[in-house]
Each structure stands twice: as C-alpha cells, then as structure tokens.
Amino acid sequence: MTEVFKGNFTQQEPIPEEGIEAAVAVMRSGRLHRYNVLPDEEGEVATLEREFAEAMGVPYCLAVASGGYALACALRALGVKPGEPVLTNAFTLAPVPGSIASIGAVPVFVEVTEALTIDIDDVAAKARATGAKVLMLSHMRGHLCDMDQLMAVCDGLGVQVIEDCAHTMGARWNGRLSGTDGIIGCYSTQTYKHMNSGEGGLLVTRDPEVMARAVMLSGSYMLYSKHTAAPGAEAFAEIRYETPNVSGRMDHLRAAILRPQLARLSEQCERWNERYRAVEAGIRGTTGLTVVERPEVEYYVGSSIQFLLLDWASAKVQEVVARCAARGVELKWFGAGEPVGFTSRYDSWRYAPSERMAKSDRILGGILDMRLPLTFSLEDCAQIARIIRAEVGAVHQAA
C-alpha cells in the first residue's frame, strides 16, 4: 500500500467571523485610511498597535504595509547609511537581504549552524572584520539562537540587533517574547505567517526616538499624535523635520481582520506545536535523517518543520523531494543551485556578493523544509511523517 497525502500545503484557515464583520464595518464606513478617523475614534490600526504592544510587553508598536517594509524601516530608523555593512543570516529568505539592499546598505552573511540558527562566533568575527554596527537577525523558520549569548556578544561589540520575527511571532527564548531582546522587533502578517492579513507588518521597540523615527518614516505626516502606541509629541520635536516620509502604512481593513487573530495567537501557536510534534515524532529515528533538536529554553511556534539529510549527495536529496512530491508531500530544499518558488539562498542574491561559505553550504545542502498549515489534522501530520520516513528510508537504503 502506498498512501498519498491529499491535503493542500498552502491552505489557510478562514479569517475569524469577528474579523470579517469588523472588516465589513470598515468598508461600510468608507474610512479605510489609518488617519481617517472620527474626532474621538482610535481607529482599527492604532488599536491593533496598542494591543500588539501590550501583547509583546513593550510600550511602542507601529503597523505597516509588509514585513519587508518593517525591516527596511527599522534600518532607516537606526540611521543605517548607504554603503554601510549590515550583518545577516546566510540561511534566510529574500526579503531580509532585500531590505538591507533597499536602503543601499551591504548585506554581510553570517554562517548557519546545524541547529539552523545564526553562528554567534561568526557574528563576532564578521562584526570585527567589517566594522558592522547592526545585525539583522532572522529567526529563520522559527529557530531561535541562544538569545542570551547573542545579546551579550552584540552588546559587547556595540552591535544593535534588529530581529526578523516573521516566523517567531508568539515564540519565546527563556520566557522572553521573540522580538523584544533586540532594539527593534519586526513581524510579518503576510498570509503564510502567524497572523494573516494578506500583506502587512508590525514593528516594536522600547526606544522612543527609534519609534518616533519609524512613525515619521511610515508616512504619518504631522498626524503622529493619532498613534496611541507611540511616544508623546516631545519625541517628535526635531525628528519630524529630519525624517523623510517613505509611505508604508497599514490600513483599517487589514487591522480589523488582524485584531481577532491576535486575541487567539497563543492558542494558534499551541495548535501549530501539536502538528509539529506529530510530524517530529513520526520522522524521528529514520536512518540518515537528522531531526533538529529544540533547546529546552526555546518556546517555538511550529508553523513549519525542517529536517536534515546531512552530507547526502544532491541527487539523492532531490530524489527524496521528488518521491515525496509524488505522494503529495511538498518539501522545499535549500540546496538547489537555482532559486525556486519562495526558496533561494545567499549565493542567488547576486546584488550582495559573498565568499563561498563552506559550513553553511553543507547545512543548506541538507535542509528540507515543510509548511504545517493549521488546516492539517494531527492524522494528516502522522500520515505525512509516514510518507517522509518511507521515502527517506527507500532512497537511503538504495544508496
């Protein structure tokens, strides 16, 4: 019997009914722009910012047009200049180096470890070698590095950390919410992330000056006092004259559908983790396959799962991908020579040339990656794991 999985790896859950109703109310009002509010009205966007800041335990939050916009806005808010080196992960997705390049700065890639996290020793080495003063830290696929060690190293070197939390909204290191250790945390609310507004982003910080700059950058004109999760007017006194407008605001429609999702975020994280653990339990112990062990102090959000076929020949990895695909299981491979779909790697970003990274190449060549949408049942997850186990086993045995 060869079972075939019939589910859809890119099927999301519907938007909660309250969100749909709130969105319809916004449309009926005709006031979609975030600053188009009645005299005593906060508006969906400012309310979302206030609620997200509260949920993250920080004073300030800004809602923007996309996660990638939040990243570029963060770099600008820190005053990163064209030509300046910015450290970032070799294992990440295109919007991350893209945000650095978008302001004319220069991505400097840092090696990835077998835990799929940034190599902290290489952060220090590359910071020293290039003089970089900013790290754009991508918590790629939800894997958190040792944030205590990383922050100590970066503080010691005078490197400011921007956290890309596109895959870690709701995750924690040692009890601290992802995005609250660095000077700025950035999140995406694009369809494939932990809250879905089609497109969208959020940026958090505890620094009033940074938030004032971010608000002006996002396109607040002189309406910054309408932000209820931003510092008071005094923080804008000079900044409002010095900061260019790079419009990238969120609108009320998106905020309306996000607010009920924020209220359910913790519950959703738990549901992802049940699915993650079901797949993990099913593939653990497969010969030739390395499960990525998660540290005890990491509370992850298993919206996707990765495993390694370390030191396998490329052709064999490709055979596993093809055989799983034939049985309905979509795996993404980070070792492919040519970028495909959403998946590319540091050497495909030719606008940001880099030396070969032997250590990262070995890891990237072995990473297989799979989404775990909440529309999958636990039985679906068990079936997917059986298929992976069987196909990895078959190819490994034949090798």
Ligand X SMILES: *Cc1c(COP(=O)(O)O)cnc(C)c1O
**Which parts of this chain interact with ligand X (CB under 6 A)?**
66-68, 92-93, 95-96, 138, 140, 164, 166-167, 188, 190, 201
C-alpha distances out from residue 29 to 18, 23, 218, 255, 361, Å: 17, 10, 24, 15, 53
Please answer whether residues 375 and 13 qualify as being in contact, where contact means their C-beta atoms are separated by less than 8 angstroms: yes
**Residue 37 or 214 with smaller CB distance to ligand X:** 214
Least distance in Å: CB of 100 to ligand X?
12
**Residue 154 or 166 with smaller CB distance to ligand X:** 166
**Residue 140 or 204 with smaller CB distance to ligand X:** 140
Residue nearest to ligand X (CB): 67
Measured N-to-C along each axis, helices 208-219 and 67-77 cross at an angle, to the nearest 10 degrees, of 120
Please answer whether residues 52 and 262 qualify as being in contact, where contact means their C-beta atoms are separated by less than 8 angstroms: yes
Least distance in Å: CB of 177 to ligand X?
17
**Residue 97 or 282 with smaller CB distance to ligand X:** 97
Least distance in Å: CB of 248 to ligand X?
10
**Residue 201 or 365 with smaller CB distance to ligand X:** 201
**Residue 160 or 196 with smaller CB distance to ligand X:** 196
User: In degrees, to the nearest 5, what angle opens at C-alpha 332 toward C-alphas 364 and 285?
Assistant: 75
Burial class (CB in 10 A: 0-12, 13-18, 19+), 106: middle
Least distance in Å: CB of 224 to ligand X?
23
Least distance in Å: CB of 393 to ligand X?
30
CA separation for the pair 380, 274 (Å, rounded): 12
| Among candidate residues 198, 193, 222, the one with its CA nearest the CA of residue 374 | 193
Judged by DSSP in three states, 164 sits in strand
Per the rule left: phi > 0, alpha: psi between -120 and 50, beta: everything else, 300 is: beta
CA separation for the pair 34, 63 (Å, rounded): 10
**Residue 164 or 347 with smaller CB distance to ligand X:** 164
Least distance in Å: CB of 164 to ligand X?
5
Least distance in Å: CB of 193 to ligand X?
6
C-alpha distances out from residue 112 to 181, 261, 305, 333, 367, Å: 20, 32, 17, 15, 11
